[in-house]
Amino acid sequence: MAQQKIRVLVAKPGLDGHDRGAKVIASALRDAGFEVIYTGLHQTPEMIANAAVQEDVDVVALSILSGAHMTLFPRILELLHEQGAENVLVIGGGIIPEEDIRKLEALGVGKLFGPGTPTTEPIEFIRKWLAERGGDQEG
């Protein structure tokens, strides 16, 4: 039986208008065989959670450079849980202090990647995380 592709929603929450990192990771994920949905700039947490549920994604990848990570990540996790999508992996990237990274990962964010991280790292993390949970997707 053919395996399903890993589906990833790449989103830019809040007022942050810098989307280069989001576009780079979206392209790298696509090149790695993932199915990528890019929501574009200025998405609300509600828009992101709704899109994740509607698109039936395996992963939500957030790019946040605005400094609002301690508000946006928890809200998106909360909304995904409310909509029955608590099994969706949430990862992110941006300029996030180490102390905040620890707090966000303790709240349920799978992993956060800083500037300069090779694109292979989130790709490998996603594959490993899904494999550990019995996912039979490819990508």
How many domains in the chain? 1
Q: How far apart are CA 59 and CA 111, in angstroms?
A: 11
In a domain, 122, yes or no: yes
In a domain, 138, yes or no: no
pLDDT band at 1 (very low <50, low <70, confident <90, very high): very low
Range of the domain at 126: 7-132
Q: What kind and span of H or E run contains 89?
A: strand 89-94
Q: Is the pLDDT of residue 83 over 80?
A: yes
In a domain, 87, yes or no: yes
* pLDDT value at residue 82: 98
The residue-averaged pLDDT of 30-49 equals 96
In a domain, 35, yes or no: yes
Q: In the structure encoding, which two tokens stand for residue 54, read together?
A: 């509607």
Q: How far apart are CA 30 and CA 22, in angstroms?
A: 12
- 37 φ/ψ angles, rounded to the nearest 5 degrees: -115, 120
In a domain, 137, yes or no: no
In a domain, 34, yes or no: yes
pLDDT band at 32 (very low <50, low <70, confident <90, very high): very high
In a domain, 139, yes or no: no
Q: Is the pLDDT of residue 47 over 50?
A: yes
In a domain, 2, yes or no: no
Question: CATH number, domain at 61?
Answer: 3.40.50.280
The residue-averaged pLDDT of 5-26 equals 92
